[in-house]
Amino acid sequence: MPELPEVEVVRQSLSKKIKQKKVKKVIVKNRNLRFKIPTNFEKLLINQKIIKVDRFSKYLILHLSNKSYCLIHLGMSGTIHIIHNNKKNFFTNSSFYSSPTLPKKHNHVEIIFSNLRIVYNDPRRFGFFQIIKNLDLLENKISTFGPEPFNLMFDQEYIFSFFRKKEKNIKNFLLDQKFVSGIGNIYANEILFLCKINPFKKAKLLSLEECKKIVIKSREILLDAIKKGGSSIRDFKNVIGKKGNFQKTFKVYERDGLNCKKIKCKGIIQKKNISNRSTFFCNICQK
């Protein structure tokens, strides 16, 4: 599933390609995504200029010229491909996960501009498109989410206060979008490793200093992942020529059975499930 860094890479790709361009045509081939695409979706997008391509958490937000917004969520397997007219498209993917070129199946939505089109591909159909009519409605929608790791609200006092008397383990909280927005399973594993915190540790037992580490390492990991183009099991360039390389720096994720990368640590990376999510940690240095 694309997490915050991967969605940010998609945002950057789209911003370079469709910002200030007018939508000429919209084709919906399959309305049955996570939420059914309404029959007036095409009319609400046609002739609108993309003023800005924004992101909140794992959501893409297209700012439209009539002051409305198109919200896009990529779900578990969604990708956005950019296809140029009259040009060889060696790489079409706006990010680095899944196929580098546009697959033949599961292309559900096309948004067409004068010199290119963007195509939404989603085999599992857990993503969605939604038109939000004004800023108040947009702010109301995202108000149910916790702050992003980059938000100044996400500090050690916020975390320490939120965790007070909470029995749930810290790993589950990092995946809870009501606590913090945008951290997914890959990065939760990596953050806890750098913090030397066991993923099974109850949130209420974390010290203020450990909460501070979570703030620092969350930002550090996510910024590094964005800089490296996010994580991809496959290594290829995206449509604007960047490579996704963060997977080459994994410390624990998918390294079960291997030696801990920390200097002088003789631990072995373990793999266990927490709430049906694969969890990787060092059996010695994560207490």
Query: Is 2 marked active-site?
Result: yes
Catalytic residue among 125, 219, 261, 277: 277
Which DSSP symbol is given to 205? G
Catalytic residue among 2, 5, 149, 199: 2
Catalytic residue among 11, 55, 58, 228: 58
Query: Is 277 marked active-site?
Result: yes
Cα 197 from chain centroid?
Answer: 23
In three-state secondary structure terms, 70 is: strand
The packing angle between helices 185-195 and 208-227, to 10°, is 130
Burial of 119 (0-12, 13-18, 19+ CB in 10 A): buried
Burial of 192 (0-12, 13-18, 19+ CB in 10 A): buried
Backbone angles phi and psi of 156, in degrees to 5: -65, -35
Query: Is 103 marked active-site?
Result: no
Catalytic residue among 3, 6, 190, 210: 3
Judge whether 134 and 67 are in contact, CB under 8 Å: yes
Enzyme catalytic residues: 2-3, 58, 277
